[in-house]
Amino acid sequence: MQYYHNKKIITMNISKRSIDNVNLITIEEKEANLSKSDHFKEQVVQGIDSENNRLIISFLNVEYIDSSFLGALVAILKVLLPGNGKLILIDMNDDIVNLFQLTRLDKIFTLRKDLDAAIKEF
């Protein structure tokens, strides 16, 4: 499926790798926003099944996130939870952590400092 914004195809650059049966997804963009949220959600959700339902998403490269991207994360979590999946978010800058705290999404999502801390959760 292709996503368009002002007649341009919009994609979200991510990298994926597996570590001890946990899928690490790293967002390779500075901005996680409305124009990229649908494509990101689709890329992540299509890889979720009963065998692949343990995810870590790294925000190492991300400087800005908007509310539509928060919605994409909530949608991903809703896909994971019925199958006893787990999602941990890591490598977030202070502004992004503050956004999660202001919206109280830090009570819904598991936020960890880095990959080492997240891997210990599984």
Structural domains for the chain: 3-114 (3.30.750.24)
Residue 68: other Cβ atoms inside 10 A: 15
| Cα–Cα separations (whole angstroms), residue 111 to 5, 87, 89, 97 | 30, 9, 5, 8
pTM of the entire predicted model: 0.90
- Beta partners for residue 57, in sequence order: 25, 89
Q: Has residue 5 got a pLDDT over 60? A: no
Q: Has residue 3 got a pLDDT over 50? A: no
Contact 3/39 with Cβ under 8 angstroms? yes
38 vs 50, more confident: 38
Confidence of residue 35 (pLDDT cuts 50, 70, 90): confident
pLDDT above 90 as % of the chain: 76
- The per-residue pLDDT for 4 is 47
Instruction: Share the mean pLDDT of the chain.
Output: 90
